[in-house]
Amino acid sequence: MNAWILAARPKTLPAAIVPVWVGCVLAWKLVGTVDWWLAGFTLAGAVCIQVATNLFNDAIDARKGADTEDRLGPRRVTASGMLSPRAVYVGATVFLLLAFACGVPLFQERGWVMVAIGVPSLFLAYGYTGGPFPLAYLGLGELFVILFFGFVAVMGTVFVQMGEWPWPGAVLGLQVGLLSAVLITINNMRDEEEDRRTGKRTLAVRWGGEAMQRVLGLMVLVAVCLTPFGHYFGMHWLYLLSIPWFLLGLTLVHLVKRTEPGPAYNMYLALGALQLVSFAVVVTIAAVI
């Protein structure tokens, strides 16, 4: 059980939970109600896709030799022999099937649009590190996170609740996507040397640490610059309430700049997850006010 929990990477789950959380809050703000039944299936589906992605990543990285003994991050269960590759692949497939099952009620409620959202999401759980064009190995990890853990997840959640595509969903989706991409950026900066040796061409490998430090700062800056838009969809206090998570983001950028990639980056990942959750809390408070 400990091995499966480690393989599921529970610390990454805020990236799946926050988009659904924020999307439901926005829907409530715009129409005054939330369908908790649909919200539950949306959240469960998102979490299952996240876990499936993590499991595929664990098994595929081990097969490709991307996880070595020099790894600075948490232990990987396939490369370390805690679980067999077959078991991890089966586990990933089970979670994909669970995500598919969660999507059935959403399809019944909103029709074929949910298929257009769900099928690519299910496929990319594997395609992030596997298949002929593995996004993580081509330097597309950050873009993938912004699009699917930001725009698609937030706007998809709002559509499930409202049956519409209000433009505020795109704003909050971009913010969530950027703050989620902070996590993958820090992760890739930590693993830059190992990825370079094993042929994993992340943006950190392609551009180098200094460039990625600027990218990290830009993500946080753009996210906070979008907060004044909250005034136009009823969250008038969003920009002022965002000061704490913005200061946390600036602190995170400063810490990354002054620290060589190493185990300390694991703590910075936790701070990035805290920043993401703080954003969701702030959106909720701003909506209530």
Tell which residue, 289, 66, 74, 40, has the closest CA to residue 161: 40
Please give the Cα distance from 221 to 214 (Å, whole number): 10
With residue 15 as reference, give the H or E element that holds it: helix 14-31
The residue whose two tokens read 């097969």 is: 63
- Confidence (pLDDT) at 73: 65
- 78-103 burial by CB neighbour count: b if 16+ within 10 A, else e? bbeebbeeebbbebbeebbebbbebb
Please give the Cα distance from 225 to 103 (Å, whole number): 34
Please give the Cα distance from 218 to 223 (Å, whole number): 8
Would you say 282 and 24 are in contact if contact means Cβ atoms under 8 Å apart? no
The residue whose two tokens read 């820090």 is: 186
Tokens, residue 98: 């669970």
- Confidence (pLDDT) at 183: 94
Domains and CATH numbers, the chain: 2-288 (1.10.600)
Tokens, residue 174: 């971009």
Tokens, residue 137: 């190995």
- 154-183 burial by CB neighbour count: b if 16+ within 10 A, else e? bbbbbbbbbeeebebbbbbbbbbbbbbbbb
Segments of the chain scoring below 50 in pLDDT: none
- Confidence (pLDDT) at 174: 97
- Confidence (pLDDT) at 193: 87
